[in-house]
Amino acid sequence: MLKSALPGAMIFFGAVLTAVGAVASFIRNDGKELGFAWLLAFMFYYSIALGALFMVMVHHLTDAGWSVGIRRFCEHLASLLRWPMIVMFLPVGLLGPKIYSWMTAGNAATNNLIAAKYPVFTVPGFWVTSAVFFGIWWLLTSRLSALSLEQDKTGAAECTRKLRFHSGWGIVAFALTLTFSGVLWMQAVSYQWFSAMYGIYFFASSVWAGLAVIYVIAVTMLRQGILKPVLKQNYFYFIGVLLLAFTLLSAYTEFAQYFVVWNANMPEETFWYLIRENGNWWCLSMILILGKFFVPFFALLPVHVKTNFKVLVPVCLLIVVMHFTDLVFNILPSLHPGGYNLKWFILPLGCLLLMGGVFAKIFVAKFNAHPPYPQRDPRLLEAMGVSPNIVSDLVDANAGGAK
């Protein structure tokens, strides 16, 4: 059973910092700072939950044995896409006019950039589209979780078949909803800008950060003995290989986006990057180049390092920090084009702690309410390092001896 006082402390300090920052925000800039800070924290946890959902579906579609041990807590992380994320999204929608300038930029008849995205780029369209996203995630994650728990009780092959079926249509729905939600909620803070690479960039970053969180949680539960029967040393190697792959994919998509935009040299596209050359945004971009690619890439490259927890856990924590930094780089320059005043960082930090504490508390409650790993997964024996043939031979031998 997981026990931790950390979520409660995060909620308390996060609530205090958020309250202080919110008051300052409404006094100084009519609540805009609060809206952007809340969106930043929301997109951070939302992307990690998406990464966990992706791993659950990949497990079922590939029928992998090594990922049995991490499947259950990945399901709990993915289930945050239901009512917890909906509740946390409400302030984003309510503060929408403070965050998204297109909501107050005039109607489609006077703004061609909004007309091209009509009717989604209307306030009703924003709410309806967001509701569709959450509806799809609710259906998908609830079916994957319910069937997984049913499989624990019955061990029926029908549960396995249904899990693969829902993962099949789910992976397509996942690609579409992830892409359009990333554009609608994050890219649209600068609605004048567009990029054909944004969907794949957001996918790569989400899975990259999700894998880092999964690695840290798996190590923690292994050391506590909770998942010791189903987590072998080489399974961490597989997660490390995926981390390396998505480090490359994430870096490639960001560079490709920059390369295409900069070489096209069209003012309606390059302005996005020009803003990020101002003030301390330039320093942040250099930090991202080092911290998001070079450091994790060279750290993950050696074979044996992938199972060295003393090295990989700090690297995973660095990845999570760099993912948050990358979201800052994407979202906050729209509000602070000349550079970011660090005195405002109390607000993003408060929102991050508050939201993270709530999600952590829900995750721990879900984890403690169910078996820590799938009890009757077809690949459970393989995950435990036991050959099914040996078990079959022992059963036959015992049956023969009884006769």
pLDDT of residue 119: 83
Q: What are phi and psi for residue 341, nearest 5 degrees? A: -85, 115
Residue 390 has pLDDT above 60, yes or no: no
Q: Are 81 and 399 in contact (CB under 8 A)?
A: no
> Among candidates 99, 93, 101, which has minimal Cα distance to 32?
99
pLDDT at 274 over 90: yes
Residue 398 pLDDT class (50, 70, 90 cuts): low
Give the model's pLDDT for residue 394: 44
Region 20-27 average pLDDT? 94
Q: What is the rounded average pLDDT of the residues 329-336? A: 94
Task: Tell me the two tokens of residue 275.
Answer: 């803003």
Q: Tell me, what's the pLDDT at 1?
A: 63
- Please give the distance of CA 331 from its chain centroid, rounded to a whole number: 16
Long-range contacts of 301-308 (CB under 8 A, 24+ apart): 301/244, 303/237, 305/240, 306/236, 306/237, 306/239, 306/240, 306/241, 306/243, 306/244, 307/233, 307/234, 307/236, 307/237, 307/240
Q: What is the pLDDT of residue 388?
A: 58
Which residues, 6+ apart, have CB-to-CB distance to 107 below 8 Å? 114
Q: What is the pLDDT of residues 117-155, one digit of tens each?
A: 778 888 999 999 999 999 999 999 999 999 999 999 998
346 within 8 A of 20, measured Cβ to Cβ: yes
Written as one letter, the residue type at 194 is F
Mean pLDDT rounded to a whole number for the chain: 91
Is the pLDDT at 302 greater than 80? The verdict is yes
